[in-house]
Structure 1
Amino acid sequence: MSAVDGLLWLSFGGPEQPADVRPFLENVTRGRGVPAARLDEVEEHYQSFGGVSPINELNRSAIAAVTDALVHRGIELPVYFGNRNWHPMVEDTVARMTADGVRRALVFPTSAYGGYSACRQYDEDIERARAAVGEGAPELVKLRHFFDHPLFVAAFADAVRTAAAGLAEYRLVFTAHSVPVAADTASGPPAEGGRRYSRQVAEAARLVAASVGVADFDVVWQSRSGPPAVPWLEPDILDHLDVLAGKGAPAVVVCPVGFVSDHLEVVWDLDTEAAQRAAAHGMGFARAAAPSGDPRFADLVVELVREHLDGAPARKLSDLPAAGCTVNGAPCAELCCEPRR
């Protein structure tokens, strides 16, 4: 294996003070045709939490855990933190890595899945950051998808058990970020038939449910942000809660299997809106924690790193493609997860 002298933790980013919120949202939605009224609505969500998203602090905590896990295993690898949409911006981080003399680094994107927003957009982030630095920018190798890694599944399974404790009967509902149907159809190489994102989410949900011992469950979607005329993956979590209430479900346990941390889309869409909708129906509601704070998540990242450092075998629980391992922003396959037009 080629030498590696750094690890870049690449994430979405989020505001850390009220004045950051609107410019952050404009960065996120630039070129996507999101109505201004929708931005106003989401801005109110952030401002209701003091204009601060939990995501950066959650990432810093996870990075500290990964750094400790690397040291514990005798791996000397500095970990750098860069974001797509807000500070620390990935372009600035890669510039600092270059100044520090990093020549070849692995990249851990904070998404377990394929698809444009979940995967290829991180390739674009890498390509853009290297182009901003220019000559001397380090080689950047993006780590693979980990939706079916045993540690990812185990952390979620235990979180479901904890959330369900004390509930005699409940419906298990998995949720992930919705995307346009066209984007999901285009996710993955055409030879695979597309839908890599939704298929991987469904597989992760199946694996977690099986670990918990639940045979019948639902996979739904949340956080839609596009124009109303564009079809997105459905059903939405709120609509689904209405359906469950109509069927007499006494309680629901929601597992945010599409997310790695309890950031604002989780605490607003689930802990706030979904919890309120369930309460309005008289249904019990519990939400499983996302895994970034679980010690096994740090171990997962170290295992992905070791696949490159010493050829450790890739641990997977399914036969679905674990794509990734791309270099310098090149997509993993021709026409794979092309951007929405």
Structure 2
Amino acid sequence: MDALLLISFGGPEGPEDVMPFLENVTRGRNVPRERLEEVAEHYHLFGGVSPINELCRELKDAIGKLVDVPVYWGNRNWPPYLEDTVAQMKEDGVRSAAAFVTSAYSGYSSSGQYLEDIARARAAVPGAPEITKLPVYCLEPGFLEPFAARTREALAQAPGARLVFTAHSVPLAQPGREDYVRELEEAARRVHAASGSDQPYDLVYQSRSGPPSQPWLEPDVLDHLRHLHAEGVERVALVPIGFVSDHMEVKFDLDVEARQTAEELGMTLVRASTPGAALAPLARDLFERARA
């Protein structure tokens, strides 16, 4: 393998990008315009900018300092688009590459859809290089240890807090959902064990979408905060274990909605940061294993 390809979801980088980005994300799903406008307001609270692209730049630069091959970056939903990146790789003479995606788990949304993205991008570029997606890495020490460190930092801000791990909800009918949940449960168990906490912990879900009639993974993080409050829990540390880096669903669903809910309940709430560029050594290790 003569290159490493970073693949991510993409996000808007200014107010004018927000609606075109959301239209890309929801294309073919018949999402009502009113719903897109509602979600757009989440982005506008942060100036129309998702943090994910800047975090990808940081991760790409960090990986580039650790490997001896060129590092490329392509997104599913916003520039740099994956198809354009694959075309550039071909022009640069890349023959084969390994792909590190900013999603750590199994399941369709977390893994399978990225395989489809790779296949579609290669099909759009005649003579495209071979691209092999690196394995899921949610249980790798290089993923768990940065999360454990950030969890300890959060607990230092709120000693004795109840740990609540969060991940993106998915429909119960989604292929690979069982593996996704199993991996999340194990990742949460290991990070809790490494956190030094002597309190119980929970795994909950956030960012559900789709029609109310469609069952998704539960409990929802906001509902769970209310449940903990009713049980007398006064301090909570949220750990977004399902997310590699901050993006709008972390920033809005946790830093806005969950924080507002906690304030209304009179609870102390802190949020652990995501690993982001700290995953560069893991990307290097997975790449070296793949080409060994």
Band of TM-score, shorter chain? over 0.9
1:205 paired with 2:202, answer: no
Q: Distance in 1 between matches of 2:64 and 2:157?
A: 36
Q: Distance in 2 between matches of 1:121 and 1:160?
A: 29
Q: 2:225 matched to which residue of 1? A: 241
| Mapped contact 1:169–1:250 kept (Cα < 8 A) | no
Q: 1:327 matched to which residue of 2? A: none
Q: For 1:56-77, what per-residue CA distance to the aligned partner results, in whole angstroms no more than 9, with x for missing partners?
A: 000000111111122xxxxx21
Once the 2 structures are TM-superposed, how far is the Cα of residue 26 of structure 1 from its aligned partner? Answer: 1.4
Q: For 1:105-164, what per-residue CA distance to the aligned partner results, in whole angstroms no more than 9, with x for missing partners?
A: 111111100111110110110010011002x11000100000000121111111011011
Q: 1:292 matched to which residue of 2? A: 276
Q: 2:94 matched to which residue of 1? A: 102
1:93 paired with 2:93, answer: no
Once the 2 structures are TM-superposed, how far is the Cα of residue 33 of structure 1 from its aligned partner? Answer: 4.3
| Mapped contact 2:9–2:77 kept (Cα < 8 A) | yes
Once the 2 structures are TM-superposed, how far is the Cα of residue 250 of structure 1 from its aligned partner? Answer: 1.1
Q: Distance in 1 between matches of 2:189 and 2:253?
A: 22
Once the 2 structures are TM-superposed, how far is the Cα of residue 50 of structure 1 from its aligned partner? Answer: 1.1
Matching of residues 107-256 of structure 1 within 5 Å:
107-134=99-126, 136-183=127-174, 186-187=175-176, 195-214=178-197, 216-256=200-240
Secondary structure at the counterpart of residue 130 of structure 1? helix
Q: 1:49 matched to which residue of 2? A: 46
Once the 2 structures are TM-superposed, how far is the Cα of residue 288 of structure 1 from its aligned partner? Answer: 0.5
Q: Distance in 1 between matches of 2:131 and 2:254?
A: 35
| Mapped contact 1:34–1:227 kept (Cα < 8 A) | no
Structure 1 window deviating more from structure 2 (113-122 vs 23-32): it is 23-32
Secondary structure at the counterpart of residue 165 of structure 1? helix
Secondary structure at the counterpart of residue 257 of structure 2? helix
Secondary structure at the counterpart of residue 204 of structure 2? strand
Matching of residues 263-278 of structure 1 within 5 Å:
263-278=247-262
Once the 2 structures are TM-superposed, how far is the Cα of residue 166 of structure 1 from its aligned partner? Answer: 4.1
| Mapped contact 1:32–1:226 kept (Cα < 8 A) | no
Q: Distance in 2 between matches of 1:158 and 1:119?
A: 25
| Mapped contact 1:34–1:225 kept (Cα < 8 A) | no
1:16 paired with 2:13, answer: yes
Q: Distance in 1 between matches of 2:171 and 2:28?
A: 15
Q: For 1:29-53, what per-residue CA distance to the aligned partner results, in whole angstroms no more than 9, with x for missing partners?
A: 2233434332221100011111111
Letter of the structure 2 residue corresponding to residue 97 of structure 1: M
Letter of the structure 2 residue corresponding to residue 140 of structure 1: I
Secondary structure at the counterpart of residue 261 of structure 1? coil
Secondary structure at the counterpart of residue 22 of structure 1? helix
Q: CA RMSD for the aligned pairs?
A: 1.2
| Mapped contact 1:179–1:232 kept (Cα < 8 A) | yes
Matching of residues 65-84 of structure 1 within 5 Å:
65-70=62-67, 76-84=68-76
Letter of the structure 1 residue corresponding to residue 218 of structure 2: E
Structure 1 window deviating more from structure 2 (152-161 vs 206-215): it is 206-215
Letter of the structure 2 residue corresponding to residue 182 of structure 1: A
Letter of the structure 1 residue corresponding to residue 237 of structure 2: V
Secondary structure at the counterpart of residue 66 of structure 2? helix
Select 2:25's aligned residue among 24, 28, 45: 28
Q: Distance in 2 between matches of 1:247 and 1:177?
A: 25
Runs of at least 5 residues in structure 2 that lack an aligned partner in the other structure: none
Q: Distance in 2 between matches of 1:246 and 1:32?
A: 38
Once the 2 structures are TM-superposed, how far is the Cα of residue 265 of structure 1 from its aligned partner? Answer: 1.1
Percent identity, aligned pairs only, is: 55
| Mapped contact 1:54–1:263 kept (Cα < 8 A) | yes
| Mapped contact 2:158–2:237 kept (Cα < 8 A) | no
Tell me the TM-score normalized by structure 2.
0.97
1:301 paired with 2:283, answer: yes
Q: Distance in 1 between matches of 2:78 and 2:4?
A: 19
